[in-house]
Amino acid sequence: MTRKLLTALLLSLTVLSSCTVNYSFTGADIPADANTFSVQQFQIATPQAGPDYGLVLSESFKDLMLAQTRLDLADKRGDLQFEGVVTGYQIGNAAISSEEFTSLNRLTITVKVKYTNTIEKDKSFEKNFSRFVDYDSQQNFSDIEPDLVDDVNGQLVQDIFDASLGAW
């Protein structure tokens, strides 16, 4: 009886060890064979965005990937590749007060992202992501722009991450 139990246990362990399951506390669905990712600096295609904005967005995305995945950053040609273009950086009205004055303004940033998954090619995509943040129209935009951009960047990089590696 003991020999049968030991044989069954060894057989079970052999079968289980041949299975590959990727678990992640962030909900990331990373291909088992993927070891690296690369992010090309995002280009700027709208004059309203500052000249450094593409670099800021690219670095924000790299930081998120390093924090939420087991993947290593590659300079070029990672197993998972990201590149993009900032296509919109707009300030507009978000709300009109009772006196028909603008009470809230809205900063909207739009990015077109190309994601190439070299391992699971059917998961590659090219799509637009857009996020916004509202702020009091009485505030000087130049004074609060860095904080607003940080807020929108946090939303954008999470959206890109979820679309490419989210297992929701």
Q: What is the model's pTM?
A: 0.79
SS3 7: helix
Per the CB < 8 A criterion, the answer to whether 10 and 50 are in contact is: no
pLDDT at 4: 57
Instruction: Indicate the pLDDT class of residue 17, thresholds 50, 70 and 90.
Output: very low
Instruction: Indicate the pLDDT class of residue 100, thresholds 50, 70 and 90.
Output: low
pLDDT at 2: 58
Average pLDDT over residues 6-18: 43
Count CB atoms within 10 A of the CB of residue 5.
9
Average pLDDT over residues 124-145: 93
Q: Among all chains, which residue has been given the structure tokens 């509202």? A: 134
The per-residue pLDDT for range 61-90, each reduced to its tens digit, is: 999 999 999 999 999 899 999 999 999 999
- Domain residue spans in the chain? 2-165
C-alpha span between 73 and 45 (Å, rounded): 25
C-alpha span between 136 and 151 (Å, rounded): 15
Among 2-6, 62-66, 127-131, which is the least confidently predicted range?
2-6
pLDDT surpasses 90 at 106: yes
C-alpha span between 165 and 80 (Å, rounded): 10
pLDDT at 29: 78
C-alpha span between 85 and 99 (Å, rounded): 39
Average pLDDT over residues 6-27: 43
Look up the CATH number of domain 2-165: 3.30.160.150
Per the CB < 8 A criterion, the answer to whether 106 and 133 are in contact is: yes
